[in-house]
Amino acid sequence: MNNNTSITKEEKSKLRDKYLNCRLGVDADMRKDYDPRITAGLLSLATYRYADTILLYAASKGEVDTDQIFYDAIKSEKAVYYPRCCPINEGKMHFHQVTNLDQLVQGQFGLREPKSHLPTLSGDTINTFCIVPALSFDKDGYRLGYGKGYYDRFLATFEGTSAGITYSVLKADTLPRGFYDMPVDIVVTEMGAEVVK
């Protein structure tokens, strides 16, 4: 799993800046074209269609819109959960069930998160489909995240299928990865879906 541990925090920070700037360079007209195509590609996956639980996140500025995925999942009578980040010293996420997007409020790091009183995810996650955010994904499903490690810690014990959604311009051939970095199973762009592991 670990093929490049020598990269420094400064180098990784520069990579984040690179892909963040690249993402912000995807203009509004392209997003209007790409986002529905990415959503359609994800919704067509058998692992999504047959999952009874969806782990989603609220998109931040520049990310692929995820609200339409929420609406489809609710219409399909799936249970949908969003992550809520615990204080940084704990470094964990708890997923809370959301039935209406009004149940999301601004939380830590300025992201929309579920209200804390909502039901939390419990039990096994075998028939669960998790959609994972990132600045970039590579051909092996490894991701360049935001540096906090929340999803890597979660995916280390996750039993279901994980997928990343992004624009093709943000895909990399290879990203630096460390011992604790966890890849996703599928990457979906406006060009289609690719199973990577």
The per-residue pLDDT for range 37-86, each reduced to its tens digit, is: 999 999 999 999 999 999 999 999 899 999 999 999 999 999 999 999 87
Would the CA dihedral through 186, 189, 191, 192 be positive or negative?
positive
Tokens at residue 19, please? Answer: 């892909």
What's the distance, CA 177 to chain centroid? 17
Confidence class for position 9, pLDDT limits 50, 70, 90: confident
Lowest mean pLDDT segment, chosen from 28-37, 68-77, 142-151, 162-171: 142-151
The pLDDT tens digits of the residues spanning 170-182 come to 999 999 888 889 9
Does the structure show a pLDDT above 50 at 150? Answer: yes
> What CA–CA distance (Å, rounded) separates 18 from 186?
23
93-97 vs 128-132, strand pairing mode = unpaired
Mean pLDDT (the chain, rounded): 91
- Of the chain, the percentage scoring pLDDT greater than 70 comes to 93
> What CA–CA distance (Å, rounded) separates 95 from 23?
26
> What CA–CA distance (Å, rounded) separates 44 from 37?
11
Q: What is the mean pLDDT of residues 7-24?
A: 87
Query: What is the rounded radius of gyration, in angstroms, for the C-alpha atoms of the chain?
Result: 16
Q: What is the pLDDT of residue 107?
A: 83
If one compares 102 and 107, the residue with the highest pLDDT of the two is 102
If one compares 108 and 16, the residue with the highest pLDDT of the two is 16
What residues does each domain of the chain span? Answer: 9-195
State how far the alpha carbon of 19 is from the alpha carbons of 128, 138, 167, in Å.
29, 12, 11
CB-based contacts of 53: which residues, under 8 Å, 6+ apart?
78, 79, 80, 81, 121, 125, 127, 128, 129, 160
> What CA–CA distance (Å, rounded) separates 170 from 134?
10
Q: Which CATH superfamily is domain 9-195 in?
A: NagB/RpiA/CoA transferase-like (3.40.50.10420)
